Amino acid sequence: KFFKLTKNLSLRFKTTMASINEAKQIAAYKAVDDHVKSGQVIGVGSGSTAVLAAQRLAERFKQEKLNIRCVPTSFQARQLIIHHKLPLTDLEIDPIVDITIDGADEVDANLTCIKGGGACLLQEKIVASNSKKLVIIADHTKDSEKLGEKWKKGVPIEVVPMAYVAIKNKIEKTLGGTAELRLAKMKAGPIVTDDGNFILDWKDFDPECNWEKVNNQLLQIPGLIETGLFVNMAVMAYFGMNDGSVKVRI
């Protein structure tokens, strides 16, 4: 009986995992197919959904002999571009990006996003802010009405290491909630970002707050480099749904 139960549970787990991955894939593939054209400079996002977009980009690059150049949004994205033998460029060579396709941890009804679950928010935001279009790709679990409804790990905030306690205290005092230093696996010290900084994850914030105002308030704190709040940046979000369809939010 016990064996049957665990087998059923693991089957159910596998089904759920497969459908989340499929949901990521259909969103990623459709966004690449709808938006990428020859002659463009493409911002390549970070995270597991962006991996699938890079895969589709590579397929189309080879099949259609697309003339594209790719700007990475992280070390991971750079590795993906190199792995797929896509043409690598950067903001120094191509300061204007035609379109960036990137994942998100949560997307609300106004296309405000939380990003940085993979600690790449700084370069992601720089590339997105130099892009004509930011298109978000995600599975349906990231689709929410209000930020914080789905993503429970907090808003990632990149900070200068020597200032992390001072910044944590300022955030908690002025905006409430708690800002926790993100630790590496097995708690083996803090996570260090691609740019050598630390991440604070700010949780238990007021879900009714004005995100533009909060983002601006956070950015006033000396030593706080960037936030994972992407306000008025994304023009479109593609959500892969459970039934195999893609929901587009504009």
Q: Which one of the spans 5-13, 29-37, 45-53, 171-179 is the region binding ligand 5RP (CB under 6 A)?
A: 45-53
Considering the complex, what minimum distance in angstroms separates the CB of residue 73 from ligand 5RP? 8
CA distance 88 to 83: 11
Number of H helices, E strands in the chain: 6, 13
Q: Given the complex with ligand 5RP, which of 166 and 203 has the nearer CB atom? A: 203
Task: Examine the residue annotation and report whether 124 is marked as an active-site residue of this protein.
Answer: yes
Q: Does 46 bind ligand 5RP (CB under 6 A)?
A: yes
Biggest CA-to-CA distance, the chain: 63
CA distance 115 to 103: 8
Q: Judged by CB under 6 A, which of 72, 116, 148, 240 binds ligand 5RP?
A: 116
Buried b (16+ CB within 10 A) or exposed e, 40-66: bbbbbbbbebbbbbbbbbbebbeeeeb
Considering the complex, what minimum distance in angstroms separates the CB of residue 8 from ligand 5RP? 27
Q: Are 20 and 141 in contact (CB under 8 A)?
A: yes
Q: Are 164 and 199 in contact (CB under 8 A)?
A: no
Q: Does 48 bind ligand 5RP (CB under 6 A)?
A: yes
Q: Judged by CB under 6 A, which of 98, 106, 108, 124 binds ligand 5RP?
A: 124
Q: Which one of the spans 15-23, 61-69, 117-125, 201-209 is the region binding ligand 5RP (CB under 6 A)?
A: 117-125
Q: Judged by CB under 6 A, which of 43, 117, 148, 240 binds ligand 5RP?
A: 117
Nearest to 207 by CA among 249, 144, 156, 115: 144
Considering the complex, what minimum distance in angstroms separates the CB of residue 201 from ligand 5RP? 12
**What is the separation of C-alpha 208 from the centre of its chain, rounded to a whole number of angstroms?**
22
Considering the complex, what minimum distance in angstroms separates the CB of residue 23 from ligand 5RP? 11
Contact string (CB under 6 A) for ligand 5RP, positions 68-107, x = contact: ----------------------------------xxxx--
Count of Cβ atoms closer than 10 Å to residue 226 Cβ: 22
Considering the complex, what minimum distance in angstroms separates the CB of residue 160 from ligand 5RP? 18
First to last CA, the chain: 49
Binding residues vs ligand 5RP (CB under 6 A): 45-50, 102-105, 115-121, 124
Instruction: Give catalytic residues, as residue numbers.
Output: 124
